[in-house]
């Protein structure tokens, strides 16, 4: 009886660890279509190199916020193949000065939505969260311009960390995040709007600093790469 109980506990623990690993490191090869019909590529979405391309906001009742670029880069970051010479020396810094504790949120938005070609499987970026248990969300628009938010994770860690979130596939092509359609022409299926940080009400006081760099996506380019050169584009 003790042996059976020990085995059951071991299996339950292994399952829990696997589930936690899957949530923290989503595997793009098992999201959505059959892997035989996928052409997965990791692409750069934004390197946070251009001043004025991102802006931050918070309710004026809750605090004051500012954003700017700084020289620097996460030491663990590796450039994408073929982009070794592309400038990548800046990071985006956010500074929040809270007026009071409470259920505060602040936003970091792109000056314009950033399109990602293909069908996006995962979104990742490097973040320095200053070991505060605030929660980070990425804000996206789907093929039809509908807005969604995806939970990226808690910022309760020190130093730089690569954070990643899976983009859930639509179950039937009509609900959820729709990234492509055979009925409405051809255009990028997902657009990055920005980020929202929901603050831990106990920790939302004083001054808080947040840094971001190197946003990437793993996207399925199967339909684009297997399109005939002489085929017409349904975008007129």
- How far is CA 147 from each of CA 40, 113, 123, 138, rounded to the nearest angstrom? 24, 11, 16, 11
Confidence band, pLDDT 50/70/90 cuts, at residue 28: confident
In the chain, % of residues over pLDDT 90: 66
pLDDT of residue 182: 72
- pTM attached to this predicted model: 0.83
The partner residues of 105 in beta bridges, in order of sequence, read 198
From the number of C-beta atoms within 10 Å of its C-beta (0-12, 13-18, 19+), residue 105 rates as: middle
Mean pLDDT of 149-171: 96
Confidence band, pLDDT 50/70/90 cuts, at residue 11: very low
* Mean predicted lDDT score pLDDT of the chain: 85
Answer yes or no: are the C-beta atoms of 207 and 65 closer than 8 Å.
no
User: Which three-class secondary structure state does DSSP give residue 229?
Assistant: coil
- φ, ψ (nearest 5 deg) of residue 37: -115, 40
Mean pLDDT of 82-110: 93
pLDDT of residue 114 exceeding 50: yes
């Amino acid at each position: 009886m003790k042996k059976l109980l020990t085995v059951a506990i071991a299996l339950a623990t292994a399952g829990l660890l696997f589930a936690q690993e899957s949530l923290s490191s989503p595997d793009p090869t098992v999201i959505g279509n059959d892997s035989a019909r996928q052409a997965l590529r990791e692409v750069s979405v934004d390197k946070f190199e251009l001043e004025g391309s991102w802006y931050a906001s918070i309710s004026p009742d809750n605090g004051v916020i500012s954003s700017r670029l700084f020289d620097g880069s996460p030491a663990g970051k590796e450039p994408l193949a073929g982009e070794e010479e592309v400038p990548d020396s800046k990071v985006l810094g956010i500074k929040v000065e809270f007026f009071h504790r409470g259920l505060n949120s602040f936003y970091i938005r792109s000056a314009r939505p950033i399109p990602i070609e293909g069908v996006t499987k995962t979104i990742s970026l490097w973040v320095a969260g200053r070991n505060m248990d605030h929660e980070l969300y990425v804000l996206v628009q789907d093929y039809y311009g509908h807005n969604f938010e995806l939970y990226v994770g808690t910022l309760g860690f020190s130093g730089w960390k690569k954070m990643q979130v899976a983009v859930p596939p639509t179950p039937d092509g009509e609900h959820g995040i729709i990234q492509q359609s055979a009925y409405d022409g051809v255009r990028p299926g997902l657009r990055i709007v920005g980020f929202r940080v929901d603050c831990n009400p106990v920790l939302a006081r004083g001054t808080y600093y947040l840094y971001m760099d190197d946003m990437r996506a793993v996207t399925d380019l199967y339909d684009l790469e297997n399109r005939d050169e002489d085929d017409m584009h349904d975008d007129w």
